[in-house]
Structure 1
Amino acid sequence: MRVDKYLKNSRLIKRRTMAKKACEQGRVIINEKIAKPGDEVKPGDIIEIKLGTGSTKVEVLSIKDNVAKNQSEELYKHLKGF
């Protein structure tokens, strides 16, 4: 799954356009490499997001196309952050 779509589905970022813009600005890092919006994400990847003055780091646990709001936190595990 594309990283911009994953960030939206997991609700780490509210909108896919915002996720795409964050990737284009170099604010999203996958496995210590700056991510492009179309980069693929798979279980086990570490994603770091730097927004504003804070940052968050998560591990991808699973990938799903359709996720209910109350199930979004099942897609990742927080490692550090907000």
Structure 2
Amino acid sequence: MRLDKFLKISRIIKRRSVAKEVADKGRIQINGKLAKSSSDVKVGDELKVQFGNKILAVKITELHESTKKEDAAKMYTILSEERVNSSEN
């Protein structure tokens, strides 16, 4: 499954266009490697997503073509969530 589609269906990022933009800016890693929006993800992969001043690390546990809101959180396990100081000028 494409990375941008996974992020949208799992509701980690609400819109696929936003997921694509975040990935193309180099803010997402799959298993420690920089990822593009078209990168393939599979069960067992670990993602690191940087949102502004937060880094979310998740492990993919399930893949679905579509999900209900209640089932979206079952697609991944949160490994860590850390705040980052945004003192880059």
Counterpart of 2:33?
Answer: 33
CA distance in 1, matches of 2:75, 2:23: 19
Bigger radius of gyration among the two: 2
TM-score, normalising length: structure 1: 0.97
What one-letter code is carried by the residue in structure 2 that aligns with 1:4? D
**Root-mean-square deviation (CA), in Å?**
0.8
- Spell out, residue by residue over 1:44-79, the C-alpha distance to the aligned partner (whole angstroms, 9 max, x if none): 000000011011000000100010001001000000
Aligned residues: 82
CA distance in 1, matches of 2:44, 2:20: 21
CA distance in 2, matches of 1:21, 1:30: 16
CA distance in 2, matches of 1:53, 1:22: 13
Counterpart of 1:64?
Answer: 64
- Spell out, residue by residue over 1:17-62, the C-alpha distance to the aligned partner (whole angstroms, 9 max, x if none): 0000001000011000110111000000000000110110000001
TM-score, normalising length: structure 2: 0.90
CA distance in 2, matches of 1:59, 1:77: 5
CA distance in 2, matches of 1:29, 1:14: 18
Counterpart of 1:48?
Answer: 48
Q: Determine what percentage of the aligned residue pairs are the same residue.
A: 37
Q: Does structure 1 residue 8 correspond to structure 2 residue 11?
A: no
Q: Following TM superposition, where does structure 1 have runs of at least 4 consecutive aligned residues deviating by more than 4 angstroms?
A: none
What one-letter code is carried by the residue in structure 2 that aligns with 1:32? G
Structure 1 gap segments, 5+ residues each: none
Counterpart of 2:81?
Answer: 81
Q: Report SS of the residue matched to 1:71.
A: helix
